[in-house]
Amino acid sequence: MKMKWKGWALAASALLLASGTARAAPTAEMLSDPCAGCHGTYGNSAGTTTPTLANHSKQSLVDAMKKFKSGERPATIMGRIAKGYGDVDFEAMGDFFSKQKFHAANQPFDKKKAARGAELHSSNCARCHLEDGKEGKDASPVMAGQWLDYLKIEMGLYTSGKRKMSDEKKEKVQPLSATDLEALLHYYASVTR
């Protein structure tokens, strides 16, 4: 038995050495700290168009990185960066950011729009964006306290068809007007934690 395991380990390391991209694993922290250049220290973004990553579920972060890497999710720069990592790295980074404290963005929002958005959230979105958007079901991201500029960019990608919606999401988003969607995003911008 012991010999057999050793054999497996040897074969596995030989495989790793043979593949060009293999590297010794940096810690989750080491992999994640360089992300701060665009996503803020420990994943709390200070810039309005790059999202805060802190306290998202690990699953939503890993899912996002895989989709950036494959090109399924449109990006300017993120796809090029995601190609620098493997699934094990995504898991490590997802785990790291999921454990960081979330600081809601301090940003202006329209109160009237936010009030209308609150109703829409309850009727259309609350089944996946749980707890007023503070938590996400499965791979759903945190919405509450996220930057409004970022949310608008992503919603624009969804409605223009560039970013693929799940059937579940499509069913809830498609009936909403542009004004409704705007209100919804103001609502998420208004929720502090």
List residues near other proteins by CB under 8 A: 20-21, 23-27, 29-31, 33-41, 45-50, 76-77, 80-85, 149, 153
Q: Which CB atom, from 83 or from 127, has the smaller least distance to other proteins?
A: 83
Q: Which CB atom, from 9 or from 22, has the smaller least distance to other proteins?
A: 22
Rounded Cα distance, 85 and 53, in Å: 17
Q: Which CB atom, from 125 or from 145, has the smaller least distance to other proteins?
A: 145
Kindly state the smallest distance separating residue 10's Cβ from other proteins, in Å.
20
Structure tokens at 88: 């094990």
* DSSP 8-state symbol, 81: H
Kindly state the smallest distance separating residue 42's Cβ from other proteins, in Å.
9
Kindly state the smallest distance separating residue 135's Cβ from other proteins, in Å.
24
Helix, strand, coil shares of the chain, percent, nearest 5, are: 60, 0, 40
* DSSP 8-state symbol, 129: E
Structure tokens at 60: 């939503």
The angle formed by the CA atoms of residues 188, 176 and 178, to the nearest 5 degrees, is: 75
Q: Which CB atom, from 130 or from 157, has the smaller least distance to other proteins?
A: 157
